[in-house]
Structure 1
Amino acid sequence: MSVAAGTNTSDLLDLDALLSSGELAVRNSVREFVKDKIRPSIAHWYEDAVFPRELAPALGSLGLLGMHLDGYGCASRSAVEYGLACLELEAGDSGLRTFVSVQGSLAMTAIHSFGSEEQKRSWLPGMATGELIGCFALTEPTAGSDPSAMTTFAQADGHNGSGWVLNGAKRWIGLASIADVAVVWAATNDGVRGFLVPAGTEGFTATPIEPKLSMRASIQCDITLDNVRLGPESLLPAARGLRGPFSCLNEARYGIAWGAMGAARDSYEAALAYSLERLQFGKPLAGYQLTQEKLVNMVLEIQKGTLLALQLGRRKDAGTLRPEQISMGKLNNVREAIAIAREARTILGGNGITLDYSPLRHANNLESVRTYEGTDEVHTLILGQHLTGIAAFR
Structure 2
Amino acid sequence: MSGIFSKIRNAYTLFQSVDFDQLQALSQKTDLSKLVKAVAGLDETKLAGLMKMVSSGNHKKELPPINGDFYHLGAAALDESDREVQLKVRAFLEKEVKPVVNAYWLRAEFPHELVPKIAELNICGLTYQGYGCPGKSNLLEGMLAMEMARVDTSMSTFFGVQSGLVMGSIYLLGSEAQKQEWLPDLQQFKKIGSFGLTEPEVGSATAGGLTTTAKRQGDSWVLNGQKKWIGNATFADVLIIWAKDLDDNQVKGFLVRKGNPGFTVKKMEDKMALRIVQNGLITLENCVVEEADRLQGANSFKDTAKVLRMTRAGVAWQAVGCARGAYESALAYTRTRKQFGKPIASFQLIQNHLVEMLSNLTAMQTLCFRLSQLQDQGLLTDEHASLAKVFCSLRTRDVVSRAREVMGGNGILLEYDVARFVADAEAIYSYEGTKEINSLIVGRAITGFSAFV
Fold match (TM-score > 0.5): yes
Aligned ranges 1:241-390 → 2 under 5 Å: 241-390=300-449
Mapped to 2, the partners of 1:54 and 1:2 lie a distance apart of 41
Q: In the alignment, does 2:80 pair up with 1:29?
A: no
Q: TM-score, normalised by structure 1?
A: 0.96
Does the 8 A contact of 2:324 with 2:361 survive in 1?
yes
Q: Does 1:194 align with 2:241?
A: no
User: Cα deviation per residue 1:225-281 (whole Å; 9 max; x = unaligned)?
Assistant: 000012221111111100122111122211111121111111111111111111112
Identity level (%):
37
**Paired residues for 1:34-53 under 5 Å:** 34-53=93-112
For 1:288, give the aligned amino acid.
F
Greater than 6 Å deviation, 4+ residue runs: none
Kindly indicate whether the alpha-carbon contact (under 8 Å) linking 2:171 and 2:183 is maintained by their aligned counterparts in 1.
yes
- Judged with a 3 Å threshold, the aligned counterparts in structure 2 of structure 1 residues 132 and 85 are, in CA distance, closer, same or farther, namely same
More divergent stretch after superposition (145-154 vs 254-263): 254-263
Distance 2:259 2:134 in 1: 29
In the alignment, is residue 120 of structure 1 matched against residue 170 of structure 2? no
- 1:342–1:360 Cα contact (<8 Å) kept: no
Q: Aligned-pair RMSD on alpha carbons?
A: 1.5
Matched with 1:10 is 68
Q: Per-residue CA shift, 1:97-125, capped at 9, x if unaligned?
A: 11111111111111111111211111111
Q: Which amino acid aligns with 2:72?
A: D
Higher relative contact order (CA 8 A, sep 6+): 1
How far off its partner does 1:5 sit?
A: 5.4
Of 235, 252, 257, 1:178 maps to: 235
**TM-fit CA distance, 1:221:** 0.8
Structure 1 residue 350: Cα displacement: 1.1
Provide the rounded CA distance (Å) in 1 between the counterparts of 2:297 and 2:170. Answer: 10
Shift in CA distance, 350/233, structure 1 to aligned 2, threshold 3 Å = same
Q: Can you list the C-alpha shifts for 1:15-34, whole angstroms capped at 9, x where unaligned?
A: 23233223311211111111
Contact kept in structure 2, 1:23 and 1:80, CA below 8 Å: no
Which of 90, 96, 100 lines up with 2:159 in the alignment? Answer: 100
Structure 1: give runs of 5+ residues left out of the alignment: none
Aligned partners of 2:109, 2:60: CA distance in 1, in Å?
A: 35
Q: Name the CA shift for 1:277/1:363 in 2 (closer, same or farther; >3 Å).
A: same
**Counterpart of 2:219?**
162
Q: Secondary structure at the match of 1:88?
A: helix
Q: Superposed, which structure 2 residues align to 1:54-133 within 5 Å?
A: 54-133=113-192
Amino acid at match of 1:127: L
Distance 1:181 1:349 in 2: 44
Distance 1:282 1:171, change over 3 A: same
| In 2, Cα distance between equivalents of 1:321 and 1:3 | 47
Distance 1:80 1:14 in 2: 14
Match of 2:232, as an amino acid? L
Secondary structure at the counterpart of residue 414 of structure 2? coil
**Max radius of gyration: which structure?**
2
Aligned residues: 391
Contact 2:225 2:284 in 1 (8 A): yes
| Distance of 2:115 and 2:366 partners within structure 1 | 29
Structure 1 pair 8–355 and aligned structure 2 pair: CA distance change class (3 A):
closer
CA contact (8 A) 1:2 1:276 kept: no
- Residue of structure 2 aligned with 1:153, choices 213, 219, 223: 213
TM-score, normalised on structure 2? 0.84
- In the other structure, the counterpart of 2:199 is 140
Aligned to 1:203: 262
1:210 Cα shift? Answer: 0.3
